[in-house]
Amino acid sequence: MTRTVRINRDRLWDSLMELKEIGAYDDEATGLRGVRRLALTDADADARRRCVRWMREAGLEVRVDRIGNVYATRPGRDRSLPCVLMGSHIDTVATGGAFDGTLGVLGGIEVMRTLNDAGAETLRDIEVGFFTEEEGVRFGTDMLGSAVTAGRIPLDHAHKLADQDGKTVKDELIRIGFDGDACERRPIPHAYIECHIEQGPILAAAGVDIGIVEGVQSISWQRLTIRGEAAHAGTTPIESRHDAGLVAASVVVEARRMCDSGDFGQLRATVGNLDIGAGQTNVIPHEATLTIDLRNPDDDHMTAAEQHLARYVHELAARHGVQAAWERMAKTVVVPFHPGIQQLLGATAEDLGLPYVRVMSGAGHDAQEISAICPTAMVFVAGENGGISHTPREYSTPGACANGTDVLANAVLRLADQP
C-alpha cells in the first residue's frame, strides 16, 4: 500500500520567511522588501550556512563538492542503491523574491523533517541539494553548478569564470568556505525532482496550484560589444557618425520585432543589460555592450533567430561603420523531462486530491542539467500577480507552496521505495 505523508505547512513557511531575510534589501522600484543574494557573495554564504544548519538539525549527512554544490543525505535501508535527489538553488537575481529556487531547497529540507516526524524508513537514500550560481547573474553562465555536476561544463572552466570585478568562482568559493572536496561529478541518482515556482501566469489562469512540467525551452545568452567612434554631438554630420549607441538601440528594437513577427515561433527576446559607457550629453557614444537573452520552445526556431540576429548586426555594423563582437555566455537546447517521472508526479497529485495542468517551463532550471544524468521532472507551484518573478513582487501563497511540497514529498517517498 502507498504511504502518504503531509508536510508541516507552517514550518515550511517559517523557513521561507526566515531565509528571505538573508540578503533582504529595500527595493525602490516597488517599495517592497526584496532579496539580493547573488551567488558566492556574503549573503549567499550566510544563506548557505543557514541551510546547512537546518540540514544537520534534520540529522542529514552534509557534503560540499568542488563547485560548491551542497548535498544532504537521509540514509535508506540499502545504501548501495542510487539515491532519490531533490533540490534547486538559493542564489537570487539582484532584484529577487523569496521563492525562486528556495522553495525547492527548503521544501526538500521540509520533506526530510516530515519523514523524520513520521519515522518513515525508505529503501533508498534520499538527498536534498542546492546548486551554485543557478541564476548566472554574477558570473554570466546560468545553471553553473548543476551543469558542472552533469558534465556539460568542465570544472576548470567554471572555476575560472569571473564577475565584473574580476573575482573568480574558485576564489569566491574559497573565500566563503564552500570549496568542498566531494567530486563535482556526483553519483548518478535514481531520479531527480525539483519543486519550483512557475514564474508565469498559466497555473493561476487554470485555477490550479500545481503544474507538472514537461520540459524546459531553449535558452541562448550572448553579449554583443559594438565599437564606433566618439565625436562631437553638434558638429559631426549625421551621415558620417559611427554611433555605437544607435546600433545597440536598433538591436533592442529588432529583437522585439522578431518576437512580434511570428517568424521565429514563440520566441522571447530580452536585452536586460545595455551599457553605453560614461554617457556624456554632447558626445556620440563610441562603445556599447548589451546582453541578448533568447528563449524558444523549438530548437530550429532558436537557431533561425540566432542566425537572423547575427546577419542583422553584421549588416547594421557595416552600414554604420562600427565593429561588432559577439561573446557566447550560455546556450542550452530544449530539454524534455522524463515521461515516467511526469506520470508519477501526476498520479501523486491526483492521490492527494490536487488538480494540476501540464506546462512547459519558460525559465531555466537546474533540473534541465540533472536530466542529462538521471530520470528527472519538476513540480511547479502557482504564483500570484500573474506569476511575476525576478522582482520582489514574486509571491506564492503558503497553501500553494505547501501543496507543491506535498507532491514533492510523496513522489520522492514512492521513488525511494522502488527496488
Instruction: Using the structure block, give the residue that is written with the C-alpha cell 557614444.
Output: 285
Which stretches within 177-243 are classed as H helix? 202-206
Helix (H) / strand (E) element for 127: namely strand 126-130
Q: How many CB atoms lie within 10 A of CB 105?
A: 30
3-state secondary structure of 284: coil
96 binds ligand GLV (CB under 6 A): no
189 touches, from Mn ion, ligand GLV, none (C-beta below 5 to 8 Å by class): none
In order of 42, 237, 329, the CA distances from 189 in angstroms are: 31, 64, 28
Between 215 and 364, whose beta carbon lies closer to ligand GLV? Answer: 364
176 touches, from ligand GLV, Mn ion, none (C-beta below 5 to 8 Å by class): none
412 binds ligand GLV (CB under 6 A): no
Phi, psi of 4 (to 5 degrees): -125, 135
CB of 364 to Mn ion, least distance (A): 8
Between 113 and 196, whose beta carbon lies closer to ligand GLV? Answer: 196
Are 153 and 372 contacting, i.e. CB atoms less than 8 angstroms apart?
no
CB of 73 to ligand GLV, least distance (A): 27
C-alpha span between 35 and 392 (Å, rounded): 7
CB of 232 to ligand GLV, least distance (A): 40
| Longest Cα separation, the chain | 83
3-state secondary structure of 225: strand
387 binds ligand GLV (CB under 6 A): no
**What amino acid occupies position 262?**
G
Q: Name which of 188, 144, 150 is nearest 170 in CA terms.
A: 144
C-alpha span between 368 and 301 (Å, rounded): 19
> Residue length, the chain?
419
142 touches, from Mn ion, ligand GLV, none (C-beta below 5 to 8 Å by class): ligand GLV
Between 245 and 364, whose beta carbon lies closer to Mn ion? Answer: 364
Residue nearest to Mn ion (CB): 101
144 binds ligand GLV (CB under 6 A): no
CB of 188 to ligand GLV, least distance (A): 25
142 binds ligand GLV (CB under 6 A): yes
Binding residues for Mn ion (CB under 5 A): 100-101
135 binds ligand GLV (CB under 6 A): yes
Are 384 and 401 contacting, i.e. CB atoms less than 8 angstroms apart?
no
Site string for ligand GLV, 325-364 (x = CB under 6 A): --------------------------------------xx
Between 100 and 125, whose beta carbon lies closer to Mn ion? Answer: 100
Between 135 and 209, whose beta carbon lies closer to ligand GLV? Answer: 135
Judged by the rule CB under 6 A, the positions of this chain that interact with ligand GLV are 135, 142, 363-364
